[in-house]
């Protein structure tokens, strides 16, 4: 696919992203006349402190998860790989439900649920990384199965904690595990932006290595790619980026699977253009999903993770049927 054509396509997706960033904050149960958003009134407060941060946060989260999915799909050579393949999401969920069970009745200055979520996700990454080191080489098959095992362990512990939790605690746990962007202000967005920037840097810096890994690990090795070093760097960086996102907004699934696949159809599989297309596509998908989540049954709200799952499930099935 020609470079000029890819530039045009990426520019078109970027323009769509800007349009969505500009218009989606106006969508919601409460109408937002343009003349009122710059005044000192309730509509202005809702617009600038809730809807704008949510829309921007949706873009940043979606873009980060899309880049993570792109890297994992190339590492595992599988279009069905997701940012949660290695059990990072389950680890984060375990940390969150543990914090809710232990500290739901206490007031803390620190966001204790997010803190526990990130710490447990980080420990999950360390465990998978340490287990992978025992193999003496970078083995994607082993990492995939280790992630499945971690998912089972964390899921069992989560069910146990929910079983012994009170009704209110259980409701809080379920709400968090559905994934949600119902935050106020820009503090959450600012916490996720470093992971977004790091993923852009990693995706572009290692674009040649990812091109070769996507084809075959042995070919990548013969072309000078140190699979142990590069593979471990990518594994650790992507997992930590996922941990940052999940700790702040909960597990929002399928973005990391859908966005790279759609972007790959537009720009091809060269990772230099694919990275830009994937991050923009992921941002657009999650912004639209968030807009749907807060308007379909307004004034109530559907957790955005439910919306992405309803879209991503059939998408996953279609890819599975079409895959060779």
Please report which residue ranges of 1-139 form alpha helices under DSSP H: 3-23, 42-46, 52-75, 88-103, 112-133
pLDDT at site 313 = 85
- How many whole angstroms separate alpha carbon 270 and alpha carbon 273? 6
**Cα→Cα distances 290→56, 61, 181, 212, Å:** 11, 11, 7, 35
Q: Are 176 and 304 in contact (CB under 8 A)?
A: no
State pTM to two decimals: 0.91
Q: Are 23 and 42 in contact (CB under 8 A)?
A: no
Q: Are 304 and 179 in contact (CB under 8 A)?
A: yes
Instruction: Collect all residues with Cβ–Cβ distance below 8 Å to 151 and sequence separation of at least 6.
Output: 87, 90
DSSP three-state, residue 223: coil
**Cα→Cα distances 233→18, 157, 230, Å:** 32, 29, 5
Domain hosting 256: range is 3-322
Phi, psi angle pair for 214, to nearest 5°: -65, -35
pLDDT at site 22 = 92
Neighbours of 309 (CB within 10 A): 18
Per-residue pLDDT of the chain (324 residues; tens, 9 = 90+): 578 899 999 999 999 999 999 999 988 777 777 777 877 777 788 888 989 999 999 999 999 999 999 998 888 887 777 877 778 888 888 998 999 888 876 655 558 888 888 888 888 888 887 877 777 666 777 877 888 888 899 999 999 999 998 888 888 888 888 888 988 889 999 999 999 999 999 999 999 989 888 887 777 777 777 777 888 888 889 888 998 998 889 889 889 989 999 999 999 889 999 999 999 999 999 999 999 998 888 788 889 999 998 998 888 888 878 766
pLDDT at site 39 = 73
pLDDT at site 110 = 58
pLDDT at site 296 = 87
pLDDT at site 82 = 81
Element (H, E) at 214: helix 207-215
Half-sphere exposure of 177 (CA within 13 A, CB side): 21
| Count of the separate structural domains present in the chain | 1
- How many whole angstroms separate alpha carbon 313 and alpha carbon 87? 19
Specify the CATH number for the domain of residue 300: 1.10.3470.10
pLDDT at site 203 = 94
**Cα→Cα distances 284→29, 124, 278, 298, Å:** 21, 29, 10, 21
């Amino acid at each position: 696919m020609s470079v000029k054509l890819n530039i045009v396509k990426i520019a078109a997706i970027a323009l769509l992203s800007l349009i969505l960033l500009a218009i989606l904050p106006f969508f919601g149960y409460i109408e937002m006349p343009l003349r009122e958003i710059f005044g000192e009134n309730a509509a202005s407060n809702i617009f600038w402190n809730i809807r704008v941060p949510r829309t921007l946060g949706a873009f940043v989260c979606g873009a980060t998860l899309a880049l993570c999915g792109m890297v994992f799909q190339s590492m595992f050579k599988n279009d069905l790989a997701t940012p949660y393949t290695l059990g990072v999401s389950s680890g984060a969920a375990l940390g969150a439900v543990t914090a809710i069970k232990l500290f739901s009745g206490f007031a803390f200055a620190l966001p204790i649920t997010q803190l526990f979520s990130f710490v447990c996700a980080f420990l999950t990454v360390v465990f998978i990384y340490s287990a992978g080191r025992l193999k003496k080489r970078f083995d994607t098959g082993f990492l995939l199965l280790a992630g499945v095992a971690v998912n089972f362990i964390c899921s069992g512990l989560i069910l146990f904690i929910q079983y012994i939790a009170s009704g209110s605690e259980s409701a809080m746990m379920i709400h968090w595990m559905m994934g949600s962007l119902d935050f106020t202000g820009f503090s959450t967005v600012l916490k996720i932006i470093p992971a977004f920037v790091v993923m852009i840097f990693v995706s572009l810096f290692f674009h040649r290595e990812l091109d070769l890994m996507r084809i075959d690990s042995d070919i990548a090795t013969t072309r000078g790619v140190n699979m142990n070093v590069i593979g471990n760097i990518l594994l650790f960086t992507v997992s930590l980026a996922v941990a940052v996102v999940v700790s702040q907004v909960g597990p929002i699934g399928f973005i990391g699977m859908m966005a790279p696949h759609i972007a790959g159809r537009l720009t091809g599989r060269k990772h230099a253009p694919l990275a830009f297309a994937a991050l923009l596509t992921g941002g657009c998908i999650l912004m639209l999903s968030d807009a749907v989540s807060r308007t379909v049954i307004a004034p109530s709200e559907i957790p955005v993770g439910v919306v992405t799952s309803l879209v991503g499930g059939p998408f996953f099935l279609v890819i599975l049927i079409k895959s060779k």
